Amino acid sequence: MKMKLKKINEKLQEALIENGLTEANALQQETFSTLKSGVDCIIVAPKGSGKSTTIVLNVIQQLAGKTEESPRALIIVEDKAKVLEMEDLFEKYGKYTKLEVYGVHDKGDMEYDKNYISTGIDVLIGTPNKLSDMFTTAGYNVNRLKMFILDDADPILKLRHETKIMRISNSIAKTQRIVFAEQLTERIEILTDKMLLEPYLFEIDEDGEDEEDEEDVEE
């Protein structure tokens, strides 16, 4: 049994099979090709629909095969627990890809984090506070960044982190921006209007169906 996703990376496929992930769920099926194409996306899907796994699969798919000195994927998550959870998923599914993944959170040591990142990593996962502090104090080379991902946009924006997220986003000229949320709230709409370029909107319901809603897309 293999994960039936179009042109999925073999090394990623191998790790998925090893972890018993042989069937793509509705969210992964619906979004894989579009995310792979590099366009900006807003993905709205209920709790437990596999958003974190979808993020990890797509980041590995896009970055596997090459390693570079500067981060090529930046993932903003809610808190330390989420950072650790995401790191675990990368460890499992990125096992054969040699991608260097590093997580930072509010309780970590800033100097240690900065030094580690300067040795060269591919994926940086972090909380809004920590990433904002790091980006303002240590100009990172973000010119190679291919993916800027906001996971759990709902709780993050409830904590009024818009300014920090916009500051990080504005320091990156060109990249694919992807926002994941459980509901498309007004706050998320305001942020994505400023941050994303003609995003493709997926709204996956409880049954895994995409509620064909593409108002945001200008042909």
With a pLDDT cut of 90, the percent of the chain lying above it is: 53
- Would you say residue 155 lies in a domain? yes
- Would you say residue 5 lies in a domain? no
Closest by CA position to 39, among listed 179, 153, 157, 142: 179
Domain containing residue 41 = 24-203
Instruction: State the DSSP string of 101-128.
Output: EEEE-TTS-HHHHHHHHHT--SEEEE-H
Residue 85: give its domain's CATH number. Answer: 3.40.50.300
- Would you say residue 3 lies in a domain? no
If one counts the domains in the chain, the total is 1
Mean pLDDT of 74-89: 96
Question: For 93-115, what is each residue's pLDDT tens digit?
Answer: 999 998 999 999 998 898 899 88
- Would you say residue 19 lies in a domain? no
CB 101 within 8 A of CB 116: no
CA 208 – CA 169 distance, rounded (Å)? 30
Residues near 30 by beta carbon (within 8 Å), at least 6 away in sequence: 202, 204, 208, 210
Question: C-alpha angle with apex 149: 138 to 18, nearest 5 degrees?
Answer: 110
- Look up residue 80 and give its two tokens: 């330390």
Query: pTM of the full predicted structure?
Result: 0.91
pLDDT for residue 219:
34
- Would you say residue 180 lies in a domain? yes
- Would you say residue 182 lies in a domain? yes
- Would you say residue 62 lies in a domain? yes
Residues near 170 by beta carbon (within 8 Å), at least 6 away in sequence: none
- Would you say residue 7 lies in a domain? no
Question: For 122-172, what is each residue's pLDDT tens digit?
Answer: 999 999 999 988 877 766 677 788 999 999 899 998 888 888 999 889 888
